[in-house]
């Protein structure tokens, strides 16, 4: 056992942790080699774990649901902190919802519906956590996190916590202040509107149905692979470039929706990287449009 792992285990005896944990078990792509140490802290523990890693020079990676990431085949060195099951409390007070960062968007949307609160229907089918959604300003079907957020609580790598109000978050398309300043979202407060539960659930069902009809949900993926270029749609550019079904190893451009790269069952991170590079070059050559990845790479990519 590496000495730093032994020391960390002694320092945080109650912390839920796993050594050499395969990251393919924790990403929606179902791809990724082992993390040296995978930990699942509570919201009370996370700041102390971050400080310990920083003070001791231990590489640190923060992960939510793993729905917008591609982890290297070689895995991740150091500690992976999972903001998941141990940080997923949801509390409703009036028209406000207080949510920890590890709560799934779909679960929060369902909780809002159960309390006849409208405004979060767009999130019903997004496969991510609140923390990741706030950092990326996730959105769908005309709604975005910036439409409903009132404040977020963040922690930096010195362990300092701050509450940022909505007007301090600099939210725009797939962008936030949290991304720029490299902080970790611990929780968020959303402010919704009173509504009719049956109408809310009908809208959520409609959005989920549209997602199922148009997206390759039957295969592992990281969601939309590329950001939307201004004035274009990434999926249409890829389709018009003749790349529907294009395959590298076990990775494939989905024939159902060309904006998605899917894992046909045996894809490696190297397969996905090569495919993404090929697609981006082909679209650049054919249409002179640059595709930027929406998927975040984690680990060592040679």
Active site residue 82: no
Would you state the pLDDT for residue 65? 85
The active-site residue out of 82, 88, 151, 224 is 224
Would you state the pLDDT for residue 212? 86
Would you state the pLDDT for residue 60? 94
The active-site residue out of 77, 111, 294, 296 is 294
**CA angle centred on 105, ends 99 and 108, rounded to 5°:** 50
Q: For domain 3-85, give the fold.
A: 3.30.43
**What whole-number distance in Å separates Cα of residue 143 and Cα of residue 213?**
19
Asked if 62 contacts 107 with a C-beta cutoff of 8 angstroms, the reply is no
**What whole-number distance in Å separates Cα of residue 103 and Cα of residue 173?**
22
The CATH number of the structural domain formed by 216-298 is 3.90.78.10
92 Cβ contact partners less than 8 Å away, ≥ 6 residues apart: 98, 111, 112, 115, 117
What residues does each domain of the chain span?
3-85, 88-212, 216-298
The active-site residue out of 174, 187, 221, 254 is 174
pTM of the model: 0.86
Per-residue pLDDT tens digits for 257-273:
999 999 999 999 999 99
Selecting from 3.30.70.260, 3.30.465.10, 3.30.360.10, 1.10.10.10, what CATH number does the domain 88-212 have?
3.30.465.10
Would you state the pLDDT for residue 302? 76
Q: Which DSSP state fits 226?
A: B
Would you state the pLDDT for residue 50? 92
Would you state the pLDDT for residue 266? 92
- Tokens 């792992």 — which residue? 5
Stretches in the chain below the pLDDT threshold 70: 1
Would you state the pLDDT for residue 127? 81
Active site residue 294: yes
């Amino acid at each position: 056992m590496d000495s730093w792992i032994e020391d960390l285990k002694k320092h945080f005896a109650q912390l839920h942790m796993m050594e050499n944990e395969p990251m393919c078990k924790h990403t929606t792509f179902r791809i990724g080699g082992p993390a040296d140490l995978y930990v699942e802290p509570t919201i009370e523990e996370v700041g102390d774990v971050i400080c310990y890693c920083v003070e001791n020079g231990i590489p640190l990676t923060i992960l939510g649901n793993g729905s917008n990431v591609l982890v290297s085949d070689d895995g991740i060195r150091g500690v992976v902190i999972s903001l998941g099951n141990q940080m997923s409390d949801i509390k409703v007070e009036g028209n406000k919802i207080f949510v920890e960062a590890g709560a799934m968007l779909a679960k929060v949307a369902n909780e809002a519906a159960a309390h006849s609160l409208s405004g979060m229907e767009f999130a019903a089918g997004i496969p991510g956590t609140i923390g990741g959604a706030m950092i990326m300003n996730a959105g769908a079907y005309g709604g975005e996190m910036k439409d409903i957020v009132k404040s977020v609580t963040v922690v930096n790598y010195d362990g300092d916590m701050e509450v940022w109000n909505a007007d301090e978050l600099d939210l725009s398309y797939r962008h936030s202040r949290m991304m720029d300043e490299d902080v970790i979202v611990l929780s968020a407060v959303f402010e919704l509107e009173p509504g009719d539960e049956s109408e809310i659930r009908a809208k959520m069902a409609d959005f989920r149905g549209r997602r199922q009809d148009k997206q390759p949900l039957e295969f592992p993926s990281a969601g939309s692979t590329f950001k939307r270029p201004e004035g274009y749609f990434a999926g249409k550019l890829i389709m018009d470039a003749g790349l529907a079904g294009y395959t590298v190893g076990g990775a494939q451009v989905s024939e159902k929706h060309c904006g998605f790269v899917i894992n046909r069952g045996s894809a490696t991170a190297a397969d996905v990287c090569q495919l993404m590079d090929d697609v981006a070059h082909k679209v650049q050559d054919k249409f002179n449009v640059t595709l930027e990845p929406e998927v975040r790479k984690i680990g060592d990519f040679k």
